[in-house]
Structure 1
Amino acid sequence: MNLRQLRYFAKVVETGNMTRAAAELLVAQPALGMQVRQLEEDLGVALLRRHSRGVEATPAGALLYQRACAILGLVEQTRREIASMAPDAVQAVRLGMTPSLMLAIGAALAVRVREALPHVRLSLAEEMSHVLVDQLVREELDLALAYGVPEHPAVARVALHHEDLVLVTLPGGAPRRPVALAEALEERLAIPERRDVVRETVTEAAHAAGLEVRLAYEVRSIAAIKGLVLRGEAASILPYASVISEVQAGLLDARAVVAPALRRTLYLAWPQRRGPLPHEAALVAEIRAALEDLTARLGALAHPA
């Protein structure tokens, strides 16, 4: 048993599919299969159960996966800690966040970390939540602020707060009142692609209420969605954080969606088998402080997790 075999085996368990695991590991599938078979032969027990949908861990495989995560995490933690002992060492941390959060707190967080943690070099990446989760699974990020993070064996998460979605339109002169979901769905809507948390939240709530979602535009970019609304071409259902500046400037109107309320949960997430980062506690404290400022701006649209 060696570290490469443990890493390969853990990826197979996390993806539940040999082909997908091989693609994420950038190895040939026959070579991956051979490493797993050698591991099973060395231990004298079946580690995977093959079926039509892929593979799943046997009881022995589940135990090995837990230990493999601990071992691989300890190896990575040791590497980071030793590297941090070098003179003038700077710890690079890759943090992903959604477009709405990048607009709301990205710049402020970068400045906070630079001033408070000179030994941390923060690298910010912007993607939709489902893409961030995929990047965490592939260990391309150290941390991510993402919405609706599902349970996944490769990802650890902690809920930070719940946030209501709003109907975004051009200002109409009418009092800003909450709008029922049925009324919101009568608008010409521009919302993100499938798998996006906003899209899934709207679709699930509509189906539960027996309503139909008719899209005028399917757009992955928050900036492009706002552009369509500002041109009068569409309305949208978005997190308030993504339109605060335009609402405060009087360019857009935002009304909470009710009956039912549309709510999503923000998580701080990280790769399950990643060991602690140097300065991680201080970094997380800065992230939470930046989010507290955002929560204050959201007002009644934000709720404790």
Structure 2
Amino acid sequence: MNLRQLKYFAQIIEAGNMTRAAEQLNVAQPALGMQIKQLEEELGVTLLVRHSRGTGPTQMGAVLYERALAILNLVEETRREIMSARAASTEPLRFGITPSLMQMIGSELALQMSDHAPGISLSLSEEMSHLLIETLRRGELDMILAYDVPDDAGWWKRALYQEDLVLVSTSPDHRRIPIPFAEALSEPLVLPEPRDSVRALVDRTAKELGLQLKVAHEIRSIPGIKTMILRGVAAGILPFGTVLAEVQAKTLSIRPIMDPTLRRTLYLAGSQTAGRLRSISAVRQVVRAAVATLTSYMGPLGHPLESTDN
């Protein structure tokens, strides 16, 4: 005797008809009849009687029907209690990542978190690094994957990865031949606002080398920047991940930047409260697995680091 047989038997009694019960259960009528036959053979009694009005229980069938309802109700009540207890014990995690990371590993991060950190209720959001850092500082996010996170007493951080920026344009691919930084600056550029980590790195490097930076367009939107590049009015200095789809579609091309290489560091950073999550070790394992996927996308433009707490 099993729960499926009890469920089928109770449905036949309530439907009053084998055909109608099969339709309600969404099973074939012969399969339904076979389950009832096996149940009768196991118990050694006849449970159903067929008459002109349909199908009804025998005396033993009526006894089994009452017990079946009690058993099925107890199983459902137990399921609800366990689900409720699980929901009560779930830890919410507000997690922010950058647009380039969302494109490359966002879906995997969410799926892996569900599989390997079931105690976490994940809310995933996307924003540029400097805005993620500000949101973490305001306590509106618990954990972020962001670039060039500064030291701050309000959070912990762990360096995971470094990536090299690229020059993005509609020009031929040049087989991804590296371009000197000074030559890249000779292009009319579309860049994010100065607070953005990419823009800050470009500004700082140009100043250190005594080079003039000419910004043709300043846009606080990755889709907006890509649109300007696609129209051919400017080139951009961007993370490879933000244009991965366009490079694969061959609508945009990239060239690594050299002399010097523009390299930024990806950090996992979180509030002190997030660091005390019961599932924090599982969360970190999921992040490490996502960074491994990121490495496969980035190729020679990416450089994994040994993780260390700061």
TM-score w.r.t. the length of structure 2 is: 0.68
The 1:208/1:196 distance shift into structure 2, 3 A limit, reads same
Q: Is the 8 A contact 2:143 2:274 kept in 1?
A: no
The 1:289/1:173 distance shift into structure 2, 3 A limit, reads closer
The ranges of structure 1 where at least 4 consecutive aligned residues each deviate by more than 6 angstroms after the TM superposition are: none
Residue 101 of structure 1 aligns to a residue whose secondary structure is helix
Partner of 2:255: 255
Partner of 2:85: 87
Give the 5 Å matches for 1:128-139.
128-139=128-139
The 1:178/1:121 distance shift into structure 2, 3 A limit, reads same
Q: Is the 8 A contact 1:177 1:256 kept in 2?
A: yes
1:169 aligns with 2:169: yes
Q: Number of aligned pairs?
A: 222
Q: Is the 8 A contact 2:178 2:258 kept in 1?
A: yes
The 1:109/1:274 distance shift into structure 2, 3 A limit, reads closer
Residue 141 of structure 1 aligns to a residue whose secondary structure is coil
CA distance in 2, matches of 1:304, 1:87: 39
Q: Which amino acid aligns with 1:250?
A: K
Task: State which drifts further: 199-208 or 113-122.
Answer: 113-122
Q: Which amino acid aligns with 1:126?
A: E
Partner of 1:281: 281
CA distance in 2, matches of 1:272, 1:283: 15
Q: Is the 8 A contact 2:161 2:291 kept in 1?
A: no
Could you tell me how far 1:103 is from its partner in structure 2? 1.5
Could you tell me how far 1:116 is from its partner in structure 2? 3.0
CA distance in 1, matches of 2:117, 2:137: 27
Residue 85 of structure 2 aligns to a residue whose secondary structure is coil
Partner of 1:299: 299
Q: Is the 8 A contact 1:171 1:250 kept in 2?
A: no
Partner of 1:199: 199
Q: Which amino acid aligns with 2:183?
A: E
Could you tell me how far 1:180 is from its partner in structure 2? 0.5
Give the 5 Å matches for 1:98-137.
98-137=98-137
CA distance in 2, matches of 1:271, 1:112: 22
Q: Which amino acid aligns with 1:88?
A: R
Q: Which amino acid aligns with 2:134?
A: D
Q: Is the 8 A contact 2:158 2:267 kept in 1?
A: yes
Could you tell me how far 1:128 is from its partner in structure 2? 1.5
TM-superposition CA deviations, 1:159-183 (whole Å, max 9, x none): 0011100000114253320000111
Partner of 2:220: 220
CA distance in 2, matches of 1:174, 1:263: 21
Q: Which amino acid aligns with 1:163?
A: E
Residue 175 of structure 2 aligns to a residue whose secondary structure is coil
Q: Which amino acid aligns with 1:133?
A: I
Give the 5 Å matches for 1:3-14.
none
CA distance in 2, matches of 1:272, 1:184: 41
Partner of 1:158: 158
Could you tell me how far 1:275 is from its partner in structure 2? 4.7
Could you tell me how far 1:188 is from its partner in structure 2? 1.3
Q: Which amino acid aligns with 1:209?
A: L
Q: Which amino acid aligns with 2:223?
A: A
The 1:244/1:199 distance shift into structure 2, 3 A limit, reads same
Could you tell me how far 1:132 is from its partner in structure 2? 1.2
TM-score w.r.t. the length of structure 1 is: 0.69
Q: Is the 8 A contact 2:167 2:254 kept in 1?
A: yes
Could you tell me how far 1:119 is from its partner in structure 2? 3.1
Any unmatched runs of 5+ in structure 1? 1-84
Q: Which amino acid aligns with 2:282?
A: A
Could you tell me how far 1:201 is from its partner in structure 2? 0.5
CA distance in 2, matches of 1:107, 1:144: 15
Could you tell me how far 1:219 is from its partner in structure 2? 1.1
TM-superposition CA deviations, 1:20-65 (whole Å, max 9, x none): xxxxxxxxxxxxxxxxxxxxxxxxxxxxxxxxxxxxxxxxxxxxxx
Q: Which amino acid aligns with 2:281?
A: A
Partner of 1:59: none
CA distance in 1, matches of 2:274, 2:95: 14
Partner of 1:244: 244
Q: Is the 8 A contact 2:295 2:304 kept in 1?
A: no
CA RMSD of aligned residues (A): 1.9
Partner of 1:178: 178
Q: Is the 8 A contact 1:162 1:263 kept in 2?
A: yes
